[in-house]
Amino acid sequence: MFVPKIKKFIQYNNYPEFQLKAVFFDMDGVLLDSMENHSLAWVKTMNSLDIPFTIEEAYLNEGRVGHDTINSSYMRTFGRKATLEEQEYIYETKTRHLEALGRIMSMPYSNQLLHKIKMQGLTNYLVTGSGQSSLLDSLDDYFPNIFPKEKMITAFDVKRGKPSPEPYLKALEKSGLNPWEIVVIENAPLGVESSVAAGLFTIAINTGPIDPEVLSSKGANIVLKGGMEELYYKWDDFYASSLSVKI
């Protein structure tokens, strides 16, 4: 079922083959069921500073590093970027609101999928624009023995966040692999844009209120409307397809 999509990807990018060796996972809205809390925390923070900001906007900004979200809201509201002090204050406030909203759960089926992938001899990497230490530090509680530090790219590793390809290019560099040996799992339009710009095969899972059409329009190779659960059940088919592709 996935073979034609993989072939199309190889031809489009002029790659010699597709030989899956690693899976790059986005964090929020993919591995963690965190987007509702992030959105609420952003809205509370911005509105307390008289900066108009909606839940929808939070989802559309998903994947950006915090200071990009802050600066674009400042530009729109005050006609200038936020100062470094303002950025720091706002991000701290957002972090406080996020933590006050309570413990975030892992996305159903995510742990099972990560372990399945590991058992298949593939390597899992985490590629996120997040700088939320409370979430990053607890990844080992959510997903034991899956993401050692050298398998993680976070807001602290990049100058430019998604939609720039930099986070995924950094992950590629860290893995030492070729772009035709990777599949990316993303849920947000800007994340898909980043991954596609890095030349990587991208599966978008729809886990929020975004219209799946938006994910396709950003260039996702496969869009699964049923989120992580659908990905979990279709993974073996995808993996088998990747092994059977002949050029």
Establish if 58 lies at the interface with Ca ion (CB under 5 A): no
Smaller CB separation from Ca ion, 26 or 181: 26
Smaller CB separation from Ca ion, 199 or 227: 227
Binding test (CB under 5 A) with Ca ion, winner from 25, 29, 65, 168: 29
CB-based closest residue to Ca ion: 29
Smaller CB separation from Ca ion, 231 or 245: 231
Binding segment toward Ca ion, per CB under 5 A, in 98-106, 147-155, 187-195, 235-243: 187-195
Rounded to a whole number of angstroms, the minimum distance from the CB of residue 163 to Ca ion is 12
Establish if 26 lies at the interface with Ca ion (CB under 5 A): yes
Smaller CB separation from Ca ion, 26 or 33: 26
Contact 83, 111 (CB under 8 A): no
Smaller CB separation from Ca ion, 87 or 194: 194
Establish if 188 lies at the interface with Ca ion (CB under 5 A): yes
Chain residues in the site for Ca ion (CB under 5 A): 26, 28-29, 187-188
